[in-house]
């Protein structure tokens, strides 16, 4: 089934739009994709002042395929809090499209973009590096793991 979804997506146009209000589709993608998903209440709290969020849709059916949550505590400092693409649509450049979109918007506003990523998430680190992010440092034991341990976060800036 996933390959059918991927084939269909390759032939469809996608659109990135601002998510101005909460939608349960965000939680469905988050919980269906991550071992340690954000709680629904935490996700909902990101649809308030100081945040700008975007969803990636397939044009022909308005199915939410992924999202990005951006915290903007100051006009010139944006933080990517979460980027998630539905499992069926991963490894097709959709996460890259979301991050690129946010970086372009930030550049137009003369803002720097920051993020933290799990040290073990090498595909994401490679993507961020490809998009011009530089490593600033690390946060020891920042992320919980499924085994109950803690994992370092790599702090990056574009």
Active-site pick, 116, 119, 142, 143: 116
Phi, psi of 8 (to 5 degrees): -65, -40
Q: Is position 116 annotated as part of the catalytic site?
A: yes
- Helical (H) or strand (E) element with 99: helix 94-108
Q: Is position 30 annotated as part of the catalytic site?
A: no
Coil, strand or helix: which one is 125? helix
**DSSP symbols for 40-64:** HHHHHHTSSTTEEEEEEEETTTTEE
Question: Tokens representing 56?
Answer: 């990636």
Give the CA angle between residues 94, 96, 97 to the nearest 5°: 65
Catalytic residues: 116, 128
């Amino acid at each position: 089934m996933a390959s059918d979804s991927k084939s269909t997506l390759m032939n469809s146009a996608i659109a990135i739009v601002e998510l101005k209000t909460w939608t349960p589709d965000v939680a469905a993608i988050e919980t269906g994709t991550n071992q340690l998903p954000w709680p629904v209440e935490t996700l909902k709290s990101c649809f308030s002042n100081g945040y700008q969020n975007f969803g990636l849709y397939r044009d022909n059916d308005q199915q939410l395929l992924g999202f990005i949550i951006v915290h903007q505590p100051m006009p010139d400092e944006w933080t990517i809090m979460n980027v998630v693409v539905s499992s069926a649509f991963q490894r097709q450049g959709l996460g890259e499209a979301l991050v690129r979109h946010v970086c372009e918007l930030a550049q137009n506003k003369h803002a720097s973009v920051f993020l933290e990523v799990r040290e073990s998430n090498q595909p994401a680190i490679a993507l961020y590096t490809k998009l011009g992010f530089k490593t600033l440092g690390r946060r020891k034991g920042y992320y919980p793991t499924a085994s109950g341990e803690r994992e370092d976060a790599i702090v990056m800036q574009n």
